[in-house]
């Protein structure tokens, strides 16, 4: 299973860059087609926050509904503290949400997909692959 970071959903929805839009859409469509798409409750929450920030959440309700079908996992104390311990260890706590995404992904997936190159720093601390889209 493949975990998708929030930014892939955002680029899928908001055309900020034609190449990133096409890359995000292809990645998500391929994963959905192959029943290989997963997001966490935190991803959908961040996604809704970003759509709200741009004042476009109502016009993209269909995408919120679509993505919500792929939510799995939950955020609990154990995962939160694991993320905290790792971010403390590698001085990465300004990116605690990324570390928490990784911890949720580790439980359900063998791969995490993102546009965020900061995830390179996490690759050495996980047994799942991290694909950074360009």
32 pLDDT higher than 90: yes
Mean local confidence (pLDDT), 25-46? 97
pLDDT at residue 110, rounded to an integer: 97
- Whole domain around residue 33: which residue ranges? 2-132
Report whether 131 contacts 122 (CB < 8 A).
no
pTM score of the predicted model: 0.91
Q: How would you class 71 by CB atoms within 10 Å of its CB: exposed for 0-12, middle for 13-18, buried for 19 or more?
A: middle
Domain count, the chain: 1
Distance between CA 59 and CA 2 in Å, rounded?
A: 27
Confidence label for 125 from pLDDT (cuts 50, 70 and 90): very high
Distance between CA 36 and CA 111 in Å, rounded?
A: 10
pLDDT at residue 23, rounded to an integer: 98
Q: What percent of the chain has pLDDT over 70?
A: 100
Residue 130 has φ and ψ, to the nearest 5°, of -120, 120
Q: pLDDT by residue (tens digit) across 42-97?
A: 999 999 999 999 999 999 999 999 999 999 988 889 889 998 999 899 999 998 99
Per the model's pLDDT, the better-predicted residue between 38 and 80 turns out to be 38
CATH of the domain at 19: 3.40.50.1010
pLDDT at residue 76, rounded to an integer: 87
Helix (H, G, I), strand (E, B) or coil at 113: strand
Share the mean pLDDT of the chain.
95
Q: How would you class 102 by CB atoms within 10 Å of its CB: exposed for 0-12, middle for 13-18, buried for 19 or more?
A: buried
Residue 34 has φ and ψ, to the nearest 5°, of -95, 15
Structure tokens at 71: 């939510």
Which residue, chain included where needed, has tokens 């001085």? Answer: 91
Which residue, chain included where needed, has tokens 């995404």? Answer: 101
pLDDT at residue 39, rounded to an integer: 98
113 pLDDT higher than 90: yes
């Amino acid at each position: 299973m493949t975990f998708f970071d929030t930014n892939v959903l955002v680029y899928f929805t908001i055309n900020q860059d034609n190449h990133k839009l096409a890359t995000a859409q292809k990645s998500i469509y391929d994963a959905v087609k192959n029943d290989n798409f997963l997001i966490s409750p935190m991803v959908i929450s961040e996604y809704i926050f970003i759509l709200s920030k741009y004042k476009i959440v109502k016009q993209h309700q269909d995408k919120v509904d679509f993505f919500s079908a792929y939510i799995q996992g939950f955020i609990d104390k154990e995962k939160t503290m694991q993320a905290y311990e790792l971010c403390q260890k590698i001085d990465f706590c300004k990116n605690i949400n990324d570390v928490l995404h990784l911890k949720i992904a580790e439980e359900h997936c063998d791969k995490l997909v993102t546009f965020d190159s900061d995830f390179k720093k996490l690759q050495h601390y996980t047994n799942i692959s991290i694909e950074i889209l360009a």
